[in-house]
C-alpha cells in the first residue's frame, strides 16, 4: 500500500470511531491502534490475574463461612475477568502463550496496587472497597470504548464488580462497629491502602503521556486527575459514615469546586513500585510463574489425552 | 514437544425460547473441557441453560474488505420492505 492510501484508510478509520462505530478484529486498523490495544488490554488482563494473589492469601483464613464463599466467588470472578480480557486481546493476533510470556518475563506490566501485602483480614475489606472501587471508576467508561471485543468484555466485568465493592465495604462496616481492636484494624487497613488506591488512576495529567490519543480512541473519556477526584469525592463520605478517618491531613471540602482538596501524592513511591521495587513484586511473580510451571504437566497430559481420544475415534471410523 | 490448548468459541442460550448467542472464547484441550470451562467462565450467574462450543478454526468468516459486495446490494432493494407499497388510508389491517 502506498503512503497516500494508508493516510486515507487512517482518516476513514478515525472518522468511524468519531461516529461511535465499533472496530471489530478483522477490520483494517492502524498498526499503532493494534499495538496500543494489545498493550492496554493485556495489562488489564494481567492485573486481574495477579490481583487474585493478595486476596487468595486470605481465603482459607476468612473469619466465617459467609465471608469465605463471598471471597472465593470474588476471586473466581477476577479469574473470569482475566479470561474475558485475554480472549479479547487474542483477537488482535497475539497468542495466549505470548501474553503469558510477556507477563512472566516482566516485559508486560500489571497494576502496581497488587504489589502491596495483605497482612490482616481488614485488608480484604479495604481492597474490595477501595481497589475494586477505583477499578470500577476506571472501567465503566471502557464499556463504550471503540474496540468491540474490549467493550463487550468490559460490560461483563462491570456488571460483576459491584458485588466486589459491596462485599469489601461490608467487611469494613462490621470491623468498624466491632471491638476497639477490630476498628483499629480497619483504620490501619485504610491507612495503608488509601494512597496506593489514589495512585491507581495513574500519573497526574501534567505527567501523563498518550492521553490525547487515548481520548480519540475512547480508551479514556476522562483524565487521570478527573477520575481520581471522582473517587475521592465519593469515597470520603463512605469512610465518614462508618467512623473511619482518611489518612490525609490536607483533605478538605472545597465548596467552590464542589469537591475535596487533598494532599500531595508520593509519586516517588509510585514509580519505585512500577519499576519493580514494591513490597511484593518478586513474591507475586514467583507465585504466578511457579503456578504456571507446576501446572505444565497437567496441561500436557490433558492435550495428550485429547489427542488419544481423537485418534481412537478416527481409527474406529476406519 | 509442546502443544497449546486450542481456542474455542462459546455460544450460550440464556433461556429456552431464545437462540444461542456468541459469549466469547476460551482455551481447552477437548470438547468436554471446553464445555466445563465455558460453564465456569461464562455462566457463573445463571446466564445460561445451554452451551455450544466449537473450535475456532472451524468457523469461516466473511472478509470485512468484501463487505461492499456482500451487503450493499441489499441497501437499494427498498421494495423488500412493506413501507414501499402505497395503499389508500381507508385500507385497514394490512
Ligand atoms: Fe475484576
Ligand atoms: Fe479488578
Ligand atoms: Fe473486582
Task: Say what the pLDDT of residue A318 is.
Answer: 74
CA of A78 to the centre of ligand 2 (A): 6
Catalogue the long-range contacts made by A172-179 (C-beta closer than 8 Å, 24 or more residues apart): A172/A122, A172/A125, A172/A126, A172/A129, A172/A242, A172/A244, A173/A242, A175/A121, A175/A122, A175/A125, A176/A242, A176/A243, A176/A244, A177/A242, A177/A243
- B26:A95 CB<8 A: no
Q: Is A299 on the interface with B (CB under 8 A)?
A: yes
- A24:B64 CB<8 A: yes
Rounded to a whole number of angstroms, the distance from the CA of B53 to the nearest CA of chain A is 15
What ipTM is given for this predicted complex? Answer: 0.89
What is the distance between the alpha carbons of residues A171 and B13, in angstroms, rounded to a whole number? 36
pLDDT in tens, chain A (318 residues): 788 988 999 999 999 999 999 999 999 999 999 999 999 999 999 999 999 999 999 999 999 999 999 999 999 999 999 999 999 999 999 999 999 999 999 999 999 999 999 999 999 999 999 999 999 999 999 999 999 999 999 999 999 998 999 999 999 999 999 999 999 999 999 999 999 999 999 999 888 877 788 899 999 989 999 999 999 999 999 999 999 999 999 999 999 999 999 999 999 999 999 999 999 999 999 999 999 999 999 999 999 999 999 899 888 887
pLDDT tens-digit readout, B1-12: 468 999 999 999
pLDDT tens-digit readout, A167-191: 999 999 999 999 999 999 999 999 9
CA of A141 to the centre of ligand 3 (A): 16
Cell of A248: 490525609
Task: Say what the pLDDT of residue A315 is.
Answer: 86
- Across the interface, which of B25, B29, B64 has its CB nearest the CB of A302? B29
- A87:B40 CB<8 A: no
Rounded to a whole number of angstroms, the distance from the CA of A162 to the nearest CA of chain B is 14
Strand order in the sheet with B20-27: B20-27, B7-13, B50-55
CB pairs under 8 A between A and B: 49
Best of A25, A45, A84 to disrupt the B interface (most B CBs within 10 Å) is A84
Neighbouring CB atoms inside 10 A of A132's CB total 25
Task: Say what the pLDDT of residue A1 is.
Answer: 78
Amino acid at each position: 500500500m502506498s503512503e497516500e492510501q494508508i493516510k486515507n484508510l487512517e482518516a476513514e478509520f478515525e472518522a468511524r470511531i468519531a461516529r461511535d462505530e465499533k472496530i471489530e478484529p478483522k477490520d483494517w486498523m492502524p498498526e499503532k491502534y493494534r499495538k496500543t490495544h494489545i498493550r492496554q488490554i493485556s495489562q488489564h488482563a494481567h492485573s486481574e490475574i495477579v490481583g487474585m494473589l493478595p486476596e487468595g492469601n486470605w481465603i482459607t483464613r476468612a473469619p466465617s463461612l459467609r465471608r469465605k464463599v463471598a471471597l472465593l466467588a470474588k476471586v473466581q470472578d477476577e479469574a473470569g475477568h482475566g479470561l474475558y480480557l485475554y480472549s479479547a486481546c487474542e483477537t488482535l493476533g497475539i497468542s495466549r502463550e505470548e501474553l503469558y510470556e510477556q507477563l512472566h518475563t516482566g516485559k508486560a506490566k500489571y497494576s502496581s496496587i497488587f504489589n502491596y501485602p495483605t497482612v490482616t483480614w481488614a485488608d480484604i475489606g479495604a481492597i474490595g472497597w477501595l481497589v475494586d472501587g477505583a477499578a470500577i471508576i476506571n472501567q465503566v467508561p471502557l464499556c463504550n470504548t471503540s474496540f468491540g471485543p474490549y467493550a463487550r468484555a468490559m460490560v461483563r466485568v462491570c456488571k460483576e464488580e459491584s458485588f466486589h465493592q459491596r462485599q469489601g465495604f461490608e467487611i469494613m462496616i462490621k470491623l468498624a462497629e466491632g471491638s476497639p481492636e477490630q476498628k483499629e484494624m480497619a483504620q490501619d487497613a485504610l491507612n495503608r491502602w488509601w494512597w496506593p488506591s489514589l495512585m491507581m488512576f495513574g500519573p497526574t495529567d501534567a505527567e501523563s503521556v498518550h492521553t490525547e490519543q487515548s481520548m480519540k480512541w475512547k480508551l479514556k473519556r476522562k483524565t487521570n486527575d478527573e477520575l481520581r477526584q471522582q473517587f475521592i469525592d465519593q469515597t470520603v463520605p463512605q469512610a465518614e459514615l462508618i467512623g473511619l478517618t482518611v489518612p490525609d491531613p490536607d483533605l478538605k471540602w472545597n465548596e467552590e469546586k464542589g469537591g475535596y482538596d487533598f494532599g500531595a501524592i508520593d509519586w516517588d513511591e509510585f514509580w519505585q513500585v512500577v519499576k519493580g521495587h514494591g513490597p511484593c513484586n518478586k513474591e507475586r511473580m514467583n507465585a504466578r510463574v511457579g503456578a504456571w510451571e507446576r501446572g505444565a504437566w497437567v496441561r500436557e497430559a490433558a492435550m495428550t489425552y485429547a489427542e488419544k481420544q481423537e485418534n481412537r475415534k478416527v481409527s474406529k471410523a476406519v | 514437544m509442546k502443544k497449546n490448548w486450542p481456542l474455542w468459541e462459546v455460544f450460550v442460550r440464556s433461556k429456552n425460547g431464545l437462540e444461542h448467542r456468541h459469549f466469547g472464547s476460551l482455551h481447552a484441550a477437548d470438547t468436554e473441557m471446553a464445555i466445563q470451562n465455558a460453564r465456569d467462565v461464562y455462566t457463573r450467574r445463571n446466564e445460561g441453560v445451554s452451551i455450544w462450543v466449537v473450535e475456532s478454526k472451524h468457523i469461516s468468516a466473511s472478509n470485512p474488505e468484501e463487505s461492499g459486495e456482500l451487503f450493499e446490494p441489499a441497501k437499494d432493494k427498498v421494495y423488500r420492505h412493506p413501507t414501499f407499497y402505497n395503499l389508500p388510508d381507508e385500507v385497514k389491517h394490512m
